[in-house]
Amino acid sequence: MGKAKKKDKHFKPWQAPGSVGLVETRSFRFGEPPDEMPLDSGLKLGPITLAYETYGKLNAERGNAVLICHALSGDAHAAGYNSPTDRKPGWWDYMIGPGKPFDTEKYFVICSNIIGGCKGSTGPWSVNPRTGAPYGLEFPVLTIGDMARAQRELVAHLGITRLLNVVGGSMGGMQALQWAMAYPESVASATLIASAAKLSAQGIAFDAVGRRAIMMDPAWKNGQYYGGPGPDPGLALARMTAHITYLSEESLHQKFGRRLQNGERFGYSFTNEFQVESYLDHQGEVFIRRFDANSYLYITKAMDYFDLTQGGAMTLAQALSGVNSRFLVISFSSDWLYPPEESKEIVRALKMNSADVAYCEIKSDLGHDSFLLPCPLQEQMITNFLAANLKS
Amino acid sequence: MGKAKKKDKHFKPWQAPGSVGLVETRSFRFGEPPDEMPLDSGLKLGPITLAYETYGKLNAERGNAVLICHALSGDAHAAGYNSPTDRKPGWWDYMIGPGKPFDTEKYFVICSNIIGGCKGSTGPWSVNPRTGAPYGLEFPVLTIGDMARAQRELVAHLGITRLLNVVGGSMGGMQALQWAMAYPESVASATLIASAAKLSAQGIAFDAVGRRAIMMDPAWKNGQYYGGPGPDPGLALARMTAHITYLSEESLHQKFGRRLQNGERFGYSFTNEFQVESYLDHQGEVFIRRFDANSYLYITKAMDYFDLTQGGAMTLAQALSGVNSRFLVISFSSDWLYPPEESKEIVRALKMNSADVAYCEIKSDLGHDSFLLPCPLQEQMITNFLAANLKS
């Protein structure tokens, strides 16, 4: 039926059952000088704009709010369509809407673009009020803690003191964990998907080569490229390399194998020949149209810094000793960037604190990106977890 | 005793027991026009110079010759010292010498730099006799088959019709397998370490981003950088990314973890902070001093092309139906670039042909690079395999 409808040129996807419909990205501004927001670095940032979207309605008890935290390249537009001409819905549309796991008939769903991002929230591309020009590298280096701190201002602004659920995959899971640790009274439950309590050495290494690709691009100009051409080749390369880590060898094998782009014979040249090369190329091309290179630097740096044990100053169990939330932790078997072992480490530390935690490793060939893809098991677990938390 | 000796400033490592001593890299030239060597692409290449070294003596029966095939960044200098001032011996020195697995008291060991390489053998940096200038991208795209074909000329030149053993790790293993398939009567035994019968889709993807790093460097100049500064930042980045794939998350965790370079506090800047970043940086820096960027392009392309099934035109068992060698196949448990499964695929195909094959997956945390590192189990297996083949 879905396919038949799509062929109908009068079909309006935002009117389809299950869609949150046409949605508007709004802005929340706070931290006006002299009340700038303090950062983990000791610096301050303000004013800050957060771009955000909400779906569904806050109930009278203000107890049905769900905060969705996005991953590296996500944005506030998690569901629905911003305009009737949009071809694609928000990045987690299959999860959010009437009758979907984040059921907008039941929950008030919030998603905001992180600070440091480039999709409406204050980031290195924003105008530095001190200079009147884009920050570039004068933007302060941020942490996952800073991202959560800014989100908390938005949540308070929306009149919510306790979130029913904070949820995220990958770096979004880091934010959700940060919320549960830093603001235990504000988080009834947290859902951590394909995530970790710290970025691994290998993760730092991949982030480092990504940043280097951007910074070696002559058009990067030490971050001062706004108003002219940006470091597109460098950003594309960073994305292409990272994209390999989001998939698995098995999924690359199944999707592309060693198939050639054109015909059966090698071209004996340095143009793209294998389908997997063209695919990566395309990923890079699409990315540079929608992402800012400096934001990429800042966000990956924040991920590198993330480590709840503060460099081993305490155990993870000690770091999480104050949590006061229920947890659902999900990992994917073929995820080698945030492998299941990293999720299990969180589960062990939570159990050491007698926290209420459910864990599931989902068998999947699709690697780290599994969390973004339709997966009935993940959908059902999130549906049930939210329902149980709403009741209690 | 070894340590005490090293502290003695009169200690001469090339005189130490077990060293092959001072060795000379020699050159073999062939394929003079009009007798250029045919290539898999249909083109021809000539004249060709191969840089090579030999250790030990060919016996009267000419039956004790071992050909060592190097990996991507290797060279002809596998053992000993080229000069008394050399600080480091050849790249597989711990494996080659009196009393070592490739015992130079028993075997005549040959190692040559591959064609397309940059350590004395003809490659894109060489002068194109047609133009009098370095080939650059006018150099023909090569295959693993072409590399073996050139080595075969050298082996014949040395008076050897049948090799006791052809051995290699990684791309060296591809060459050894190619030898066994293409020249079955010339190979008594083959040792394939951390290798594969084809490069995986993920392997192609990582090669593609490496080449892209080089080609986006403005100093690359479409390959015409000889005589001026080369694309060092691009080549360094290619190496850094590849280097991550040569290790394992476990080894990165053990070696560096999340330790910072200086002190315990974050710097909140974009300089290298984590030890793993500085380590990768160093790997890049060292590499650009010893490697040619165009060679990197050509060699990775040859790896991409490697596929004994010719794109699935036949099964691997069919491709290997003519082999007439004994095989030793070794893989390493934590190698995710050439995972054990790829070695097992070779073993299965050889067994389908009733070939004499021994297989061992060695438990190691050190990833793909395990084959280059001291490993008693690997040493013993190679020692025994060579001895058994010499007897028979």
**Half-sphere exposure of residue B268, counting CA atoms within 13 Å on the CB side?**
15
What is the Cα–Cα distance from B213 to B241, expressed in whole angstroms? 10
* B368 assigned to active site: yes
| Minimal C-alpha gap between A345 and chain B (Å) | 15
What is the Cα–Cα distance from B294 to B233, expressed in whole angstroms? 14
Q: B311 falls in which pLDDT band (50, 70, 90)?
A: very high
Q: What is the pLDDT of residue A7?
A: 58
Q: What is the pLDDT of residue A10?
A: 79
pLDDT digits (tens, 9 = 90+) for A193-229: 999 999 999 999 999 999 999 999 999 999 999 999 9
For an interface test with A, give the residue of B212, B259, B275, B304 to mutate (most A CBs within 10 A). B212
What is the Cα–Cα distance from A224 to A229, expressed in whole angstroms? 10
Q: B2 falls in which pLDDT band (50, 70, 90)?
A: very low
pLDDT digits (tens, 9 = 90+) for B214-246: 999 999 999 999 999 999 999 999 999 999 999
What is the Cα–Cα distance from B104 to B20, expressed in whole angstroms? 7
Q: What is the pLDDT of residue A235?
A: 98
Residue A297, C-beta contacts closer than 8 angstroms, at least 6 positions apart? A124, A211, A214, A215, A223, B270
Q: What is the pLDDT of residue B7?
A: 58
The one catalytic residue in B19, B103, B207, B368 is: B368
| Tokens 């630097």 belong to residue | A297
The residue among A275, A242, A330, A337 whose CA lies nearest residue B336 is: A337
pLDDT digits (tens, 9 = 90+) for B88-129: 999 999 999 999 999 999 999 999 999 999 999 999 999 999
Give the mean pLDDT of chain B: 96
What is the Cα–Cα distance from B158 to B164, expressed in whole angstroms? 14
- Whether the CB-CB separation of B66 and B386 falls below 8 Å is answered with yes
pLDDT at residue A260 greater than cutoff 60: yes
The two structure tokens encoding residue B180: 């066994």
| Tokens 């659920």 belong to residue | A165
User: If you measure CA to CA, which chain A residue comes closest to B338?
Assistant: A249
Phi, psi of B114 (to 5 degrees): -65, 155
The two structure tokens encoding residue B209: 């981003």
pLDDT digits (tens, 9 = 90+) for B51-80: 999 999 999 999 999 999 999 999 999 999
The residue among A385, A335, A55 whose CA lies nearest residue A190 is: A385
The one catalytic residue in A19, A170, A325, A334 is: A170
For an interface test with A, give the residue of B138, B206, B249, B300 to mutate (most A CBs within 10 A). B249
| Minimal C-alpha gap between A199 and chain B (Å) | 8
Give the mean pLDDT of chain A: 96
CB atoms within 10 A of CB B34: 7
The two structure tokens encoding residue B54: 């030999």
Percent of chain B with pLDDT over 70: 98
What is the mean predicted confidence (pLDDT) over A67-73? Answer: 98
| Minimal C-alpha gap between A25 and chain B (Å) | 31
- Torsion of Cα atoms, B271 then B277 then B279 then B281, to 10°: -60
Count interface pairs A-B at CB distance under 8 A: 146
Contact B307 A237 (CB under 8 A): no
pLDDT digits (tens, 9 = 90+) for A261-271: 987 789 999 99
Lowest mean pLDDT among A9-13, A48-52, A374-378: A9-13
Percent of chain A with pLDDT over 90: 94
Q: A11 falls in which pLDDT band (50, 70, 90)?
A: confident
Q: What is the pLDDT of residue A354?
A: 97
pLDDT at residue A4 greater than cutoff 80: no
Contact A240 B141 (CB under 8 A): no
The residue among A168, A329, A336, A331 whose CA lies nearest residue A251 is: A336
The two structure tokens encoding residue A347: 């589960």
Q: What is the pLDDT of residue A2?
A: 44
The residue among A16, A106, A101, A94 whose CA lies nearest residue A61 is: A106
pLDDT higher at B83 or A2 = B83
* Residue A194 DSSP SS3: coil
What is the Cα–Cα distance from A295 to A274, expressed in whole angstroms? 31
- The shortest CB-CB distance from A202 to any of B205, B233, B249 is to B249
Note the ipTM here: 0.96
Q: What is the pLDDT of residue B11?
A: 83
CA distance readout (Å), A152 to A25, A47, A115, B269: 18, 15, 12, 25
pTM for this model (two decimals): 0.96
Burial class (CB in 10 A: 0-12, 13-18, 19+), A370: buried
What is the mean predicted confidence (pLDDT) over A231-256? Answer: 97
Q: What is the pLDDT of residue A3?
A: 47
- Domains of chain A in sequence order: 2-198+308-391 (3.40.50.1820), 199-305 (1.10.1740.110)
Contact A336 B249 (CB under 8 A): yes
The one catalytic residue in B170, B195, B343, B364 is: B170
Q: Using only the alpha carbons of chain B, give its radius of gyration.
A: 21
